[in-house]
């Protein structure tokens, strides 16, 4: 059994653990507290939360009670769209920090793209916070190529991360290629496609070849591709098994097989068609 969470170097030389613990839809309070605590106890060193998840406070408590040094844990939060704008973003960041009870944040993301001018002004606020060293890295989430192209027109800092939906059956090739060109690392949410991949018979057969679960196989595939997956669970066994993927490697042939499962069909919201 291995719980060695390897790191990836971002474009500003900050190291991010390659597997993060996701907290989307985990309710604030005891559930988030226990899930994050279990994850940290077992070896995760990267926790992903967001203002709109409404569980920053409990995540912060779990981090504080973990007994780990602050610099040992990589913590991400995200700015919700209702707080976009220069002044609004600065105020929202302060609220996030008060909830997390931290002196600095490792990564802060624009959660979803908005109109060009709004994105531009909001990004300026994040650049200021980065320059003030209260955030170690800044990035975006759910940005398509055209959003990134627009942002980069006036950005002083290239995003370190783009967090997007990504799993074997949805691999946004154009976004992946663009991000690679600008050294923007890809974080993958919904790594199991809402559980769809777990029940994929093709992946069950392949996972058995490595004596691993489908979840472990899929997460290992993310690592092999250079992505940063964010599995989420409140189940103790799943939390642990999702990190036990550093003791095997997938052959090039099998990576290509998984690559070919791409259908181009999202399981989540299209960033150009957001309902909020």
Catalytic residues: 53
How far is it, in rounded angstroms, from Cα 244 to Cα 164? Answer: 23
CA distances 133 to 103, 105, 108, 136, Å, are: 10, 9, 12, 6
How far is it, in rounded angstroms, from Cα 99 to Cα 105? Answer: 12
The answer to whether the CB of 20 falls within 8 A of the CB of 44 is yes
CA distances 121 to 110, 151, 155, Å, are: 11, 10, 10
CA distances 63 to 15, 37, 39, Å, are: 19, 7, 10
Phi-psi region of 156 (alpha: psi -120 to 50; beta: other; left: phi over 0): alpha
The answer to whether the CB of 136 falls within 8 A of the CB of 107 is yes
> Annotated binding residue at 146?
no
The residues near 266 (Cβ < 8 Å, ≥ 6 apart) are 165, 170
How far is it, in rounded angstroms, from Cα 45 to Cα 33? Answer: 15
The answer to whether the CB of 75 falls within 8 A of the CB of 109 is no
Known binding positions for substrate: 111
Known binding positions: 111
């Amino acid at each position: 059994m291995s719980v060695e969470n390897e790191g990836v170097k971002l474009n500003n030389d900050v190291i991010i653990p390659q597997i993060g613990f996701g907290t989307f839809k985990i309710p604030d309070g005891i559930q988030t507290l226990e899930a994050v605590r279990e994850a940290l106890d077992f070896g995760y060193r990267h926790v992903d939360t967001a203002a709109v998840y409404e569980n920053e406070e409990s995540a912060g408590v779990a981090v504080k009670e973990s007994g780990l040094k602050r610099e040992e844990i990589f913590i991400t939060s995200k700015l919700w769209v209702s707080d976009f704008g220069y002044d609004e973003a600065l105020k929202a960041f302060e609220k996030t920090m008060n909830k997390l009870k931290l002196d600095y944040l490792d990564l802060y993301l624009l959660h979803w793209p908005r109109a060009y001018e709004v994105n531009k002004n909001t990004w300026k606020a994040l650049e200021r916070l980065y320059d003030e060293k209260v955030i170690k890295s800044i990035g975006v989430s759910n940005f398509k190529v055209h959003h990134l192209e627009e942002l980069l027109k006036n950005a002083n800092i290239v995003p370190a991360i783009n967090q997007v939906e990504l799993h074997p059956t949805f691999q946004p090739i154009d976004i992946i290629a663009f991000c690679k060109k600008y050294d923007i690392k890809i974080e993958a949410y919904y790594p199991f496609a809402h559980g769809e991949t777990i029940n994929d018979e093709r992946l069950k057969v392949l996972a058995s070849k490595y004596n691993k679960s489908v979840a472990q196989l899929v997460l290992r595939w993310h690592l092999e591709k250079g992505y940063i997956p964010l599995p989420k669970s409140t189940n103790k066994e799943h939390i642990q098994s999702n990190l036990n993927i550093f003791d095997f490697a997938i052959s090039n042939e099998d990576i290509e097989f998984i690559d070919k499962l791409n259908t181009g069909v999202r399981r989540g919201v299209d960033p150009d068609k957001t309902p909020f």
